[in-house]
Amino acid sequence: MNKNLSIDEGLIKSLYEQGVSIAEIAKQAECGRSSVHNVINRLGLGKRLKEWTNEEISILKDAYQSDLVKAIDLNSIAKKLGRNRMAVALKANDLGLCQRSGRTKYPDYAHLEPKKRHAARTKKTSSKEELSKLQSENAKRSIAQNGHPRGMLGKTHSEENKQAQGQRASALWTSMTDKQKSELIGKGLKTKLKKYGTLAPERNGTTWKSGWREIGGFKKYYRSRWEANYARFLEWSRQQGHIKEWLHEPDTFWFHNILRGTRSYLPDFKVTSNDGTIAYHEVKGWMDPASKTKLKRMKKYYPEVRIELIDSKRYNTLKKQVSRIIKDWE
C-alpha cells in the first residue's frame, strides 16, 4: 500500500511544533522525509517560523555563547523557543554562532542576509568548477582548524549499517517501475559519458589491447588496437585530403522507447566526407549479440543514419594496403 495515502498530518504538525527533527517525524509518521516537508509546506508551518524576534535571538546567542555549554543541545533549544530543530541550527549559522559549522569559513559575510551572503561568495568565482574548488579548500581549512563539524572524520559505517543501507536500496529498486528504472540507468550512462567521454570500461591485460592513445592531436580511449589503427587510417586520410573530418565517439543514439537491455548506441567514428555527407563507422572483428541488437535498433529508430561496418574482412584488406605507410600502426 502507498504510505502517502495514510499520512497523519495532525501527528506531523504536532511533532513539528514541538521541535522534533524531520527524520524523527518521518519515522514516527511512517513516511518519507519529502512527505513530511510537503505536509509542513502545505499547512504553512514553515512560514510561521521564519520571523525571529529580538528576544528569541538573544536567547539563542546566550545558549551558544555560554561558557558552561560543552556541546550544543539543539533539541532543548528548539523546545525552549518553540521552533523546529533545523530552523534553530540555520539561524545559529546565519548569526555566526556555530564555530564548528562550515558557514564560519565565510566570516567576512556573516553580517549579510543569506541571499546576499551567497551572492557575495559566488561573485568571487567565474565558473561552477572554480566555486567547487573554493568550497573544497574552505571546507578542508575549516576542518583542519576546528575539526570535523559532526565529529565523524575517519569513522566508517558499521557492517550492520551497511547491510541496512543495502536492504533499503534493494527495497527501493524493487518498488520502482520499469520506466523509473530505465530513467535511472539512462541518467547514469549519460553522466558517465559526460564525465569520461566514453561508455567503454578500461580493461587491463586484454588481448585486443584496449587503452589510451594520442591520435590526430587528441588523447582518447580506444577499445582495441583495431579501433586505434582505424583512427590512424582516418587521420591519414584527412591529411591526404580524402575526407574532411573524423571524430572518435562524438555522438550517442538513445533508444528512448526501450526500457530494458540495450538502450543506446555509441558508434566508434563519425566521418565527414569532402562533400559534407556524414557516416558512422563501426569497427567490429566479430559481432556479439549486444552489437547485433544495437545495429538492428539503429535501423528501426534512426533509419536516416548511415552506418558502415568495418568487419574483419574489410579491416584485413585495409591493413594490407596501408599498414606500412601509416606511422605507429600496431
Residue-wise pLDDT tens digits, 221-234: 888 899 999 999 99
Long-range contacts of 262-269 (CB under 8 A, 24+ apart): 262/290, 262/293, 262/294, 262/297, 263/182, 263/185, 263/186, 263/189, 264/186, 264/189, 264/199, 265/294, 265/295, 265/297, 265/298, 266/193, 266/198, 266/199, 267/307, 268/227, 268/230, 269/230, 269/231, 269/234
Q: Which domains does the chain have, with CATH numbers?
A: 3-146 (no CATH), 211-322 (3.40.1350.10)
Statement: the pTM of the whole predicted model exceeds 0.85:
no
Task: For 312, list phi and psi in degrees, rounded to 5.
Answer: -60, -40
Specify the pLDDT at position 20: 78
Residue with cell 589510451: 212
pLDDT tens track for 139-167: 787 777 777 666 666 677 778 888 888 88
pLDDT tens track for 184-226: 777 777 777 666 666 655 555 544 578 888 998 888 888 889 9
In 20-156, where do the E strands start and end?
none
Q: How many residues are listed for the chain in this entry?
A: 330
Specify the pLDDT at position 49: 47
pLDDT at 101 over 50: no
- Give the pLDDT band of residue 10 (cuts 50, 70, 90): confident
pLDDT at 85 over 70: yes
